[in-house]
Structure 1
Amino acid sequence: MKQLRRSLGVFDAVVVGLGSMVGAGIFVALGPAAGAAGAGLLPALGVVAVVAYCNAMASARLAALHPASGGTYVYGRERLGPFWGYLAGWAFVVGKTASCAAMALTVGAYLWPGQAHAVAVAAVVALTAVNYGGVQKSALLTRVIVAAVLAVLALVVVVSAGSGSQDLGRLALGGSDVSAGGVLQAAGLLFFAFAGYARIATLGEEVRDPARTIPRAVPLALGIALVVYAAVAVSVLAVLGPEALAASPAPLADAARAADAGWLVPVVTAGAAVAALGSLLSLILGVSRTTLAMARDGHLPSGLAAVHPRFRIPHRAELAVGAVVAVMAATVDVRGAIGFSSFGVLAYYGIANASAWTLGRSHRPLAALGMAGCVVLAFALPLTSVLSGAAVLAAGVVAYAVTRAPGRR
């Protein structure tokens, strides 16, 4: 079996993770989260930070022991058994494919709202071609994207902080709009933007010295993302207030307007498009690597396990993922898929924490907290997201049972 090329060090692995986390989510997720939590947006950010940390540490420890492409699909299979690995892979591939389409449509919505679907398809095709050239080229492009997005976010924070419109009293939790349920739902909605550290783990077969690199890269990427998200959330909430933030489809652009910095609006618009491209690039990488791992084990067509003889990447898996995402981006409205994606990814990390539980007594407190957090946030999501997510997971279970039936082996 051909192996992928190990070309990524700590810095590139951190950048790949940041490209997934500090992406389009920061430009679009704050509004819905504020709608659910009101002034409780910052506590919600704290809740999701705790759950994300537990998940990140579980992923890092498991990736160091099992440095193969596939992430929790591999960990679940090796630590809990084939079914749990399969279920994790199914949840990841389906949920993150929907996220890919959402990111592609975000690009279209910012760059050319009247032709959002066409632009989305073009973005998917272009980034699939970039990934086809090898993971190192993808990491280099992600490095440029992350630098540009961080610069835009820094501008938003600085301009907001120096604005006369900023009122730190808007951060106070007083008021009847803050509830525990709203805070948890907001945390669940924010979660999809924080799951990028999974991309580092799913690239385990392409990281140099994974036992050392992955445990360092995962908490570094998560820590940087948390600092960035907290700074931006505080700045935007202080300028707009919870009500205006909840009603805003483009909160960072509206914060720039409220701060009398009209010149910053087109910069933010461009930054949002670039951020979505960075997220889409990393998402396609992660989904294709999990597809590769599942194809190697016979859960998906064996042809998807092919590795390109020159570029040493899972080229058929990448083309297949790109094709599915392009079709979704051309035909569906994926705004409602964000909640569904969060449900699938929380199921994925629930299995990651269950896998980490098997590593020994010292790992169990954090793993237990992570499992509990994933369950609570998943079922705190809007009812439609919970029902659709549960239905898709159930369909995956049925498919597993059918394909593994004695007469089909």
Structure 2
Amino acid sequence: MAERLARRLGTADAVVIGLGSMLGAGVFAVFGPAAAVAGPGLLIGLAIAAVVAYCNATASAQLAAQYPTSGGTYVYGRERLGPWAGFLAGWGFVIGKTASCAAMALTFAAYAVPEPLQRPVAVAAVLGLAAVNYRGVTRTARLATVLVVVVLVVLGVVVVGGSAGTKTLPLGDPADAYGVLRSAGLIFFAFAGYARIATMAEEVREPERTIPRAIVLALGTTVVVYAAVAVTALTVLGPGRLAVSQAPLRDVAAAAIGTWAVPVVAAGGAAAALGALLALIAGVGRTALAMARHDDLPAWLAAVHPRFRVPHRAEIVLAVVVSALVLAVDLREVIAFSSFGVLLYYLVTNLAAYTQDRRRYPRWLQVIGAAGCLLLVATLPWPVVAAGAAVYAIGAAYRLVRLRSAAR
């Protein structure tokens, strides 16, 4: 029988891990690219992304309550739709979120240090947080709590100071519908952290009650924060300046509050990226654990540390791969690639939840969620879609070879 992880997380712990995953990904980075494609229409894109995220969150919550084990949609897809659906979901999550890890490490370094030091510092962040995860999930939750508090305080300074320190700029007309949808696809990347709660279901106490509650609370809090920050950034900088900003909230602080706030916001951006990276490492490691238990990844990755009760081999391999990516890739490229894998992951989530008989939420939410995932994938740049399809083909080929070897 496979070794089990320890159930140590309560509702508050799970909410904090979800918040840490989401707030780090989007608030400090995504509104600039979204403004570039949609102008003030990014607010409509934010609403669309939030609706799709809510539909996906209800699917994740419903499935996690019935299947409270590590692996998230990899497990749900296997149970509800068959092994191939589970594999494609798990593969998408692992490759997409590995790219997200690299993106968050690079974002942290961009806020924390000047250009020549950014990649080495990003690697150091990956290795340091992997070491924290290695020591156990309760330490992960404690550090995530500290980081989330820091981020929320900094965002409060930005919103309050930005609202009080400048007059509202004219926003102009939003972009066309395609531009708005493209912005929704970008902003969706920032919402995807609620899946981290479901992938850690094997470590949550009373998962049938805790997981649905934690997912909805974390997502709802994030929507409110994102809306406040997006409106502030648009009214302080205007769509044009926001579109070209590499660090939008730092520019908001400089324009509306004062130079004293710039290092404060930079520290908040670094903390937010660290929180997201911390939770990402935990989530990817646990999905890899679940896949290894079914031989969809090498079986030796299924090992659980005898003392710390974490998937230590999976997390070590992840840290090595992410460190290599950090040294080789561009931030915007890995964000787009991550969106491709994550949206297809949630497509399987919605399809799996649609088949459930024991309902917590109506089926039409899963229909909207699945359609929304497909629509947002279609807005991604075609080179990203082509690269994602190629990586999926590699994963499918690996599984076919393994199945044929097992049949012999």
Given that 1:344 and 1:389 are in contact with CA atoms closer than 8 Å, whether structure 2 keeps it comes out as yes
Q: For residues 84-138 of structure 1, what are the alpha-carbon distances to aligned partners after superposition, in whole Å with 9 as ceiling and x for unaligned?
A: 0000000000010011011111122222221111001100110011001100000
AA matched with 2:403: R
Q: Which residue of 1 aligns with 2:300?
A: 303
Q: Which residue of 2 aligns with 1:340?
A: 337
Q: Which residue of 2 aligns with 1:101?
A: 102
- Cα distance 1:408–1:104, how it changes in 2: closer, same or farther (>3 A)? farther
Measured after TM superposition, the shift of residue 368 of structure 1 is: 0.6
Q: Does 1:258 align with 2:255?
A: yes
Report SS of the residue matched to 1:5: coil
Measured after TM superposition, the shift of residue 391 of structure 1 is: 2.0
Q: Distance in 2 between matches of 1:28 and 1:224?
A: 18
Given that 1:307 and 1:315 are in contact with CA atoms closer than 8 Å, whether structure 2 keeps it comes out as yes
Q: Which residue of 1 aligns with 2:146?
A: 144
Q: Which residue of 2 aligns with 1:16?
A: 17
Q: Which residue of 2 aligns with 1:397?
A: 396
Q: Which residue of 2 aligns with 1:118?
A: 120
Q: Distance in 1 between matches of 2:151 and 2:233?
A: 16
Among 332, 346, 349, the alignment partner of 1:349 is 346
What is the number of equivalent residue pairs in this alignment? 404
Q: For residues 5-60 of structure 1, what are the alpha-carbon distances to aligned partners after superposition, in whole Å with 9 as ceiling and x for unaligned?
A: 00000000000000000114210100001111111010000000000000000000
Given that 2:36 and 2:240 are in contact with CA atoms closer than 8 Å, whether structure 1 keeps it comes out as yes
Measured after TM superposition, the shift of residue 400 of structure 1 is: 2.0
Given that 2:71 and 2:290 are in contact with CA atoms closer than 8 Å, whether structure 1 keeps it comes out as yes
Given that 1:7 and 1:136 are in contact with CA atoms closer than 8 Å, whether structure 2 keeps it comes out as yes
Among 131, 138, 152, the alignment partner of 1:129 is 131
Q: Which residue of 1 aligns with 2:36?
A: 35
- Map 1:6-405 → 2, pairs under 5 A: 6-112=7-113, 113-167=115-169, 169-170=170-171, 174-175=172-173, 178-360=175-357, 363-405=362-404
Report SS of the residue matched to 2:310: coil
Q: For residues 56-91 of structure 1, what are the alpha-carbon distances to aligned partners after superposition, in whole Å with 9 as ceiling and x for unaligned?
A: 000000000000000000000000000000000000
Measured after TM superposition, the shift of residue 364 of structure 1 is: 1.9
Q: Distance in 2 between matches of 1:265 and 1:387?
A: 39
Measured after TM superposition, the shift of residue 320 of structure 1 is: 1.1
Q: For residues 182-212 of structure 1, what are the alpha-carbon distances to aligned partners after superposition, in whole Å with 9 as ceiling and x for unaligned?
A: 0111110111110000000000000000001
Instruction: Flag as ranges the 4+ runs of structure 1 deviating above 3 A.
Output: 360-363, 406-409
TM-score (norm 1): 0.96
Q: For residues 334-385 of structure 1, what are the alpha-carbon distances to aligned partners after superposition, in whole Å with 9 as ceiling and x for unaligned?
A: 3211111001100000000000010138632111110000000011112222
Measured after TM superposition, the shift of residue 164 of structure 1 is: 2.6
Measured after TM superposition, the shift of residue 407 of structure 1 is: 6.3
AA matched with 1:28: A
Q: Distance in 1 between matches of 2:89 and 2:223?
A: 25
- Cα distance 1:82–1:407, how it changes in 2: closer, same or farther (>3 A)? closer
Given that 2:25 and 2:189 are in contact with CA atoms closer than 8 Å, whether structure 1 keeps it comes out as no
AA matched with 2:199: T
Given that 2:162 and 2:257 are in contact with CA atoms closer than 8 Å, whether structure 1 keeps it comes out as no
Q: Distance in 2 between matches of 1:265 and 1:101?
A: 25
Q: Distance in 2 between matches of 1:135 and 1:166?
A: 44
Q: Distance in 2 between matches of 1:382 and 1:332?
A: 17
- Of stretches 195-204 and 377-386 in structure 1, the one that deviates more from structure 2 is 377-386
AA matched with 2:58: M
Measured after TM superposition, the shift of residue 260 of structure 1 is: 4.5
- Cα distance 1:304–1:35, how it changes in 2: closer, same or farther (>3 A)? same
Measured after TM superposition, the shift of residue 222 of structure 1 is: 0.1
Q: Which residue of 1 aligns with 2:5?
A: 4
Measured after TM superposition, the shift of residue 178 of structure 1 is: 1.1
Given that 2:40 and 2:239 are in contact with CA atoms closer than 8 Å, whether structure 1 keeps it comes out as yes
Report SS of the residue matched to 1:7: coil
Q: Distance in 2 between matches of 1:15 and 1:330?
A: 30
Report SS of the residue matched to 2:297: coil
Report SS of the residue matched to 1:298: coil
Aligned alpha-carbon RMSD (Å): 1.3
Q: For residues 115-171 of structure 1, what are the alpha-carbon distances to aligned partners after superposition, in whole Å with 9 as ceiling and x for unaligned?
A: 11100110011001100110000000000000000000000000011013433x42x
Q: Distance in 2 between matches of 1:138 and 1:200?
A: 13
List alignment gaps of at least 5 residues for structure 1: none
Measured after TM superposition, the shift of residue 280 of structure 1 is: 0.4
AA matched with 1:166: T
List alignment gaps of at least 5 residues for structure 2: none
Q: Distance in 2 between matches of 1:181 and 1:83?
A: 32
Measured after TM superposition, the shift of residue 406 of structure 1 is: 5.8
- Of stretches 100-109 and 372-381 in structure 1, the one that deviates more from structure 2 is 100-109
Measured after TM superposition, the shift of residue 398 of structure 1 is: 2.2
Measured after TM superposition, the shift of residue 331 of structure 1 is: 2.7
Q: Distance in 2 between matches of 1:353 and 1:366?
A: 8
Q: Distance in 1 between matches of 2:201 and 2:253?
A: 40
Q: Distance in 2 between matches of 1:184 and 1:192?
A: 13
Q: Distance in 1 between matches of 2:406 and 2:278?
A: 40
Q: Distance in 1 between matches of 2:194 and 2:258?
A: 33
Q: Distance in 2 between matches of 1:320 and 1:190?
A: 29
